[in-house]
């Protein structure tokens, strides 16, 4: 099941061709995106997702996205989704057609079912591996043309990293910087818990500010946890009480094994933090 809405408010058949071969999103990965979870008919963190879309667009010198129009497109997908199960809604915003400097951006919202693999990861957790991302923590601020921290359509490396994880018998990745510090997952934010304190690395090292991580932080603080933004090492990840990957669609996913080593059982902690996160939307 899929539902497709263009930004102009038209619905379209998702399985039909709608994109020209000369779209720069396709030819150059030149565009930005967001993925939003819809639960109980309501998009979660819609405002932060649209803010981040605008931030990514600005980093790529794309025209400022029309937040109201995007919100209408998301609602249109939701209103036309049969049943009331969870949906992942992808927002895609490209530079439009190659060779036309005045080309209008290509912009659509695509509603997708939640992948069964995602449901399994939520329930059972994942094994992850650390992989060198080859960047130093100062690079993002020094070299903005590298688009570190933009959610761009150029996600080839993120996908290749997940295939590398698969080759190593895992299903997710935690990227590290050249100084050994922890960055992020290819599609998720790292959250470490030690005692009653949550830690996530600062976004200015060139990672995506996490919308779900922020929601988890809000929920956890209400539930009595302390939440900190702090640089982490891989040793920290091994010595904590719980390691998690936060992303819209997978919510807070437990990492049970890191680089082949089984981590301390964080099932109870996962249950508590997941409840705190869900309470944000109750």
By the rule CB under 8 A, 204 interacts with its own copies: no
By the rule CB under 8 A, 36 interacts with its own copies: no
Site size with its own copies, rule: CB under 8 A: 59
Judged by CB under 8 A, the residue of 3, 7, 30, 247 near its own copies is: 30
Report, in Å, the least distance between residue 167 CB and its own copies. Answer: 9
Judged by CB under 8 A, the residue of 50, 54, 60, 73 near its own copies is: 60
Which CB, 164 or 241, lies closer to its own copies?
164
**Tokens linked to 37:** 């979870």
Report, in Å, the least distance between residue 239 CB and its own copies. Answer: 25
Which CB, 30 or 219, lies closer to its own copies?
30
Q: What are phi and psi of 155, to 5 degrees?
A: -105, 20
By the rule CB under 8 A, 228 interacts with its own copies: no
Which CB, 28 or 196, lies closer to its own copies?
28
Judged by CB under 8 A, the residue of 90, 194, 218, 238 near its own copies is: 90
Judged by CB under 8 A, the residue of 73, 78, 91, 92 near its own copies is: 92
Q: What are phi and psi of 36, to 5 degrees?
A: -115, 135
Distance CA 77, CA 3 (A): 6
Element at 64 (helix H, strand E):
none
Q: Which stretch binds its own copies (CB under 8 A): 127-135, 197-205, 209-217, 239-247?
A: 127-135
Judged by CB under 8 A, the residue of 64, 82, 83, 99 near its own copies is: 99
Judged by CB under 8 A, the residue of 139, 203, 223, 234 near its own copies is: 139
Nearest to 39 by CA among 121, 96, 135, 111: 111
Judged by CB under 8 A, the residue of 19, 104, 275, 279 near its own copies is: 19
By the rule CB under 8 A, 104 interacts with its own copies: no
Residue with tokens 């070299």: 143
Residues of this chain, 146-165, that bind its own copies according to CB under 8 A: 146-147, 150, 152-161, 163-164
- Which residues are paired to 279 by β-bridges? none
Considering Cα of 275, then 279, then 281, then 282, what sign does the dihedral take?
Answer: positive
By the rule CB under 8 A, 22 interacts with its own copies: yes
DSSP 205-253: GT-PPPHHHHHHHHHHHHTT-EEEE---BHHHHHHSSEEEEEETTTEEE
Contacts of 82 (CB under 8 A, 6+ apart): 1
Contacts of 236 (CB under 8 A, 6+ apart): 182, 192, 194, 199
Contacts of 251 (CB under 8 A, 6+ apart): 37, 122, 212, 274, 277
Footprint on this chain of its own copies (rule: CB under 8 A): 2, 4, 14-31, 33, 59-61, 90, 92, 94, 99, 108, 110, 112, 115, 131-136, 139, 142-147, 150, 152-161, 163-164, 178
């Amino acid at each position: 099941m899929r539902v497709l809405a263009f930004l102009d408010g038209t619905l379209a058949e998702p399985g039909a061709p709608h994109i020209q071969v000369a779209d720069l999103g396709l030819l150059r990965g030149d565009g930005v995106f967001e993925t939003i979870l819809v639960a109980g008919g309501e998009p979660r963190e819609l405002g932060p997702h649209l803010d981040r879309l605008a931030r990514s667009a600005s980093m790529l010198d794309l025209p400022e996205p029309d937040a109201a129009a995007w919100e209408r497109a998301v609602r249109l997908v939701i209103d036309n989704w049969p049943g009331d199960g969870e949906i992942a809604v992808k927002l895609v915003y490209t530079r439009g057609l190659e060779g036309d400097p005045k080309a209008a951006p290509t912009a659509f919202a695509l509603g997708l079912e939640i992948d069964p693999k995602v449901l399994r990861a939520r329930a059972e957790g994942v094994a992850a591996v650390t992989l060198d991302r080859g960047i130093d923590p100062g690079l993002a601020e020094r070299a903005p043309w590298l688009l570190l921290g933009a959610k761009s359509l150029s996600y080839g490396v993120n996908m290749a990293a997940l295939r590398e994880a698969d080759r190593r018998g895992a299903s997710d990745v935690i990227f590290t910087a050249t100084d050994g510090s922890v960055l992020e997952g290819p599609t998720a934010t790292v959250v470490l818990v030690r005692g009653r304190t949550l830690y996530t690395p600062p976004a200015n090292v060139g990672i995506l500010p996490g919308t779900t991580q922020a929601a988890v932080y809000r929920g956890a603080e209400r539930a009595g946890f302390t939440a900190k933004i702090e640089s982490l090492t891989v040793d920290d990840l091994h010595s904590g009480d719980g390691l998690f990957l936060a992303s819209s669609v997978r919510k807070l996913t437990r990492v049970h094994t890191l680089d082949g080593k089984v981590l301390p059982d964080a099932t109870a902690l996962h249950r508590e933090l997941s409840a705190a996160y869900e309470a944000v939307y109750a």
